[in-house]
Structure 1
Amino acid sequence: MPVFIFSLPRSGSTLLQRLLASHNQVSTASETWLLLPLLYSLRTQGIYTEYWQKTSVLALNDFMERLPNGKADYQEAMRQLALQLYTKASDDGASYFLDKTPRYHLISDEVCELFPDAKLIFLWRNPLSVIASIMQSFADGKWNLYYYNIDLFTGLENIIHTYENYRSSSLSVHFEALIKSPEEELKRINEYLELEDHSHMDLSSSQLSGKMGDPTGTKLYSQVSAEPLGKWKEVICNRLRRRWCRKYLERIGRDRWLAIGYDMDDMIAELNAVPMSSRFLVSDVVRITYGTLLPFLSPRSLKEKAALLPDFNKIYPSY
C-alpha cells in the first residue's frame, strides 16, 4: 500500500522519510516523481511539449470515450502501473511504499482520488523557516524565491485544500513537533500506519540512495536535532525580505494558517522582532527584478533551443 507525504520543499519531509524508512515494513526511494507525468497527461496547462500537449489531451479524451468506463478505466490503468512499480521497488516483507515527492502538491487532489486506500501524511513547517531554508539550501542565502513561487503559493494552497478534504482519513504532522518530541510524534505515526514498535527507528539506518531529496540536511544531521528551528532569523535579515514575508503571510491568509496550526499574528510579531541589517539588500533588489521578468523569459527552454541553432530546422514551437 502506498503512503504519501504531502508538504512544501524544505519542510522536513526527508527527515520524516528517513525515520519511517528505518522500519522494515516501510520501503521508499529518495523521490520518485512518478505520478507527475502520469496525471499531467490529462492537463492542458502547465506542461509544454514538442508534440503539442493540448492536442494530446484532445486525443486522449477521444480515446477514453471508447473505453467501457471512460476516464475511470484510464485512471485505473495509471493506478495499477504505479502500484506495480511501487511493489517492484519495495523490499521483501514491506507493507508500505512511501512516495515522498514535494511537488505532488500540484496533484494532491488527484493522487488522493487515484489511491483512495492510501495513507496520507500532511507535513507542515513554519513558513518563515521554509522560505529561509529555500534560500539557504539552494542559493547560499541569496534571494531565489522566484523559482519556488509555484511551491509557496499554488502548492501550499493546493495541499491545504486537499488536507481539508481528507482530514478525517489523513494524519497531520508539524516539523516543529517532530524534532522537539520525535518519540511522541513517531508513536502517533505508528498508530496511524498500524505499524509495530518504532522504538528502534533512527536516521543512521536509513540512508537514501538516488540523486533527489534534501541536499543539506542528510549531510548536516545524523540524528534528530532542534537546531533548525531558529535559523530562519539569520536569513530573513533585511527590511525587503521582512516586507516580502509579511505580504506573503497576509496573502495566504489568517484562516488558512490557522487551518494547519499556525497563527499569522504570532508569526508577524516574531518577524517584526528580528534585528534588521543591510546584508544582501542590493543583491535582493537585482534578483527580485530578475525574478519579476523570469516568467516571460523562459530561460531554460530558450537555452535548449539555442543549442539547436546550428540545425535551425530542429527548433520547434512548444505547446
Structure 2
Amino acid sequence: MKEEQLIFIISQPRAGSTYLQNLLSNNSQTNTCSEPWILLNFVNQLNPKRTKTDFDNKLAADAFEDYLQKHKELDYPKAQKEFILNLYKPMLSGYQFVIDKTPRYWEILEELVVLFPKSKIIILKRNPLDVAKSIIKTWDIKTLEKLAYYKRDLLWAPHRLKNFNDKHKNNPNVYSLRYEDLIADTAVEVKKLYNWCGITYSETVLDTSTNEKYKGKYGDPYQNSEVGYTHSKKTSKAKELSAEFAAFLKGYANYFKHDFLLAYGNYKTEGFKPQKTMAFRHYMHLCDERQKGYNFKKELKFFLKEYFFRLIK
C-alpha cells in the first residue's frame, strides 16, 4: 500500500466527521471503517514526549534511540512506515483509497505529516460552542465532572487545528472544510472534495442510505441505533440543557473570545452570550483536578472561595 492512498479525516469529536466519512466513502473506489485509532497506538514511537506510562517512557525511548544509533543499517523510519501501512492493507483490497476517520488525530497532526507527507489530510471544523453542546446532549453528560473527561477535545483541539491550518495553508495535501458549509451546500462541497482527493464523483454518492462501510463500535453513536439514525438524533437534539450547562456554555464562549472564533472559522457567539461564569470556572477547576485525582477538601475549598467571592462582589 502507498501513502498516497491514505485519506485522513480529523476534527473535534461531534464535529460531523462521521457524516463526511459516510459521504466520502460512498463509492466503489474508497473503503473505510468506523474509527481505527491505528496511529494513536504508536504515539510512544512517533513522539515519546506525548505518552505517559507506568514505565519510564522517556528512558525507554532513549534506550531505543541508542540501539538505532548502534545499528544504522536499519532504516527504522522506512520500516515503521511500511509496518503501519500494512495495518491499513486489509481495507485496501478491491479499492484505490482508504479513509482513516479518527477525530483525535488532532493530537498528532504534525507527527502525521512527517510520517505520511504524501497522504491527504482533511481538517473538518465546526463551531466549538456547537461541538460542546453536541457532546453534552449526544453522550448524555449529566455533570461538569463527566464533561471534564473531554477537556482536551474542548479546550485544546480548536487551537491545535487552527495552528495546523495556518502552518499548512499552502500544503496541497491539506484540505480545510467547515461542517456548516458541508451542511448548507452538501453537493457543491462534496464534489470539490471528491475532485481534490482524486475520486470519481457522481450525484449518486449523496444518497448514503445503503452505505455501511463507516459503521462500527466507535464513531457516531447514532449510527448503530436500534430505533434508527434520524429518530435517535432528533431525540437527542430535543433534550433541554440544564441551567448549569447553559452557564458553562456562556463561560466557554468567553474562553475562546470573539477574535479566535472569527479567525478559526468565521464563527460567532450568537445565542451563547459570552461571560465569565461560576460553572465554567468550576469546569476548569475540575479539569485541573482530574489530572491529580478527586479531592473532597479541594472541592469544598473551591466552592467556599466562590461563595465568598460572590458575596463581596
Q: 1:233 to 1:257 in 2, by over 3 A?
A: farther
TM superposition shift of 1:67? 4.6
* CA distance in structure 2 between the aligned counterparts of 1:62 and 1:28, rounded to whole angstroms: 38
Equivalent residues of 2:195, 2:201 under 8 A apart:
no
Aligned pairs (5 A) from 1:37-52: 37-52=41-56
Equivalent residues of 1:135, 1:142 under 8 A apart:
no
Q: Which amino acid aligns with 1:211?
A: K
Equivalent residues of 2:128, 2:158 under 8 A apart:
no
Partner of 1:110: 111
Aligned pairs (5 A) from 1:48-197: 48-68=52-72, 73-92=75-94, 94-140=95-141, 142-143=143-144, 144-168=146-170, 169=172, 170-197=174-201
SS at match of 2:100: strand
TM superposition shift of 1:53? 1.1
TM superposition shift of 1:88? 2.0
Equivalent residues of 1:131, 1:145 under 8 A apart:
no
Q: Could you tell me which runs of 5 or more consecutive residues in structure 1 were left unpaired when the two chains were aligned.
A: 274-280, 300-319
Q: 1:10 to 1:218 in 2, by over 3 A?
A: farther
* CA distance in structure 2 between the aligned counterparts of 1:155 and 1:162, rounded to whole angstroms: 10
Are positions 1:241 and 2:241 aligned together? no
Aligned length: 279
SS at match of 2:70: coil
* CA distance in structure 2 between the aligned counterparts of 1:234 and 1:148, rounded to whole angstroms: 20
Q: Which moved more, 1:104-113 or 1:51-60?
A: 51-60
TM superposition shift of 1:14? 0.6
Equivalent residues of 2:43, 2:50 under 8 A apart:
no
Are positions 1:22 and 2:26 aligned together? yes
Equivalent residues of 1:7, 1:159 under 8 A apart:
yes
Partner of 2:211: 206
TM superposition shift of 1:298? 7.8
Matching residue within 200, 206, 221 for 1:215: 221
SS at match of 1:206: coil
Q: Which moved more, 1:41-50 or 1:24-33?
A: 41-50
SS at match of 1:5: strand
CA RMSD in angstroms comes to 3.3
- TM-score, structure 1 length as denominator? 0.76
SS at match of 2:210: coil
Q: 1:51 to 1:135 in 2, by over 3 A?
A: same
Q: 1:271 to 1:69 in 2, by over 3 A?
A: farther
- TM-score, structure 2 length as denominator? 0.77
Q: Which moved more, 1:75-84 or 1:2-11?
A: 75-84
